[in-house]
Structure 1
Amino acid sequence: MITIYHNPRCSKSRAACDLVSAAKAKEPVEVIEYLKQPFSVDQLRALHAMLGGRLRDMIRTGESEYTELGLDATGVTDDQLYEAIAGHPVLLQRPIVVRDGRAVIGRPTENVAALLG
Structure 2
Amino acid sequence: MMKIYHNNRCSKSRSGLEILNNSKQDYEVIDYIKNPLSENEIKDILKKLNFTPIQLVRKNEAIWKENYKRKELSDDEIIKALAEHPKLIERPIVVKGDKAVVGRPPENIKQLL
SS of structure 2 residue aligned to 1:18: helix
5+ long unaligned stretches in structure 1: none
Q: Contact between 2:52 and 2:75, CA under 8 Å: does it hold in 1?
A: no
SS of the residue corresponding to residue 39 of structure 1 reads coil
Q: Which residue of 2 aligns with 1:35?
A: 33
Match of 1:98 in 2: 95
Displacement of 1:55 in angstroms is 1.8
Query: Structure 2: which 5+ runs fail to align?
Result: none
Q: Distance in 2 between matches of 1:45 and 1:64?
A: 23
1:29 CA drift (Å): 1.0
Q: CA RMSD in A?
A: 1.0
SS at the partner of 1:67? helix
Q: Is the 8 A contact 2:12 2:106 kept in 1?
A: yes
TM-score, L = length of structure 1? 0.92
Q: Distance in 2 between matches of 1:76 and 1:3?
A: 29
Q: CA deviation at 1:101?
A: 1.3
4+ residue segments displaced more than 3 Å: none
TM-score (normalizing by structure 2) = 0.95
Q: How far 1:75 sits from its partner (Å)?
A: 2.4
Number of positions where the alignment pairs a residue of Structure 1 with one of Structure 2:
113
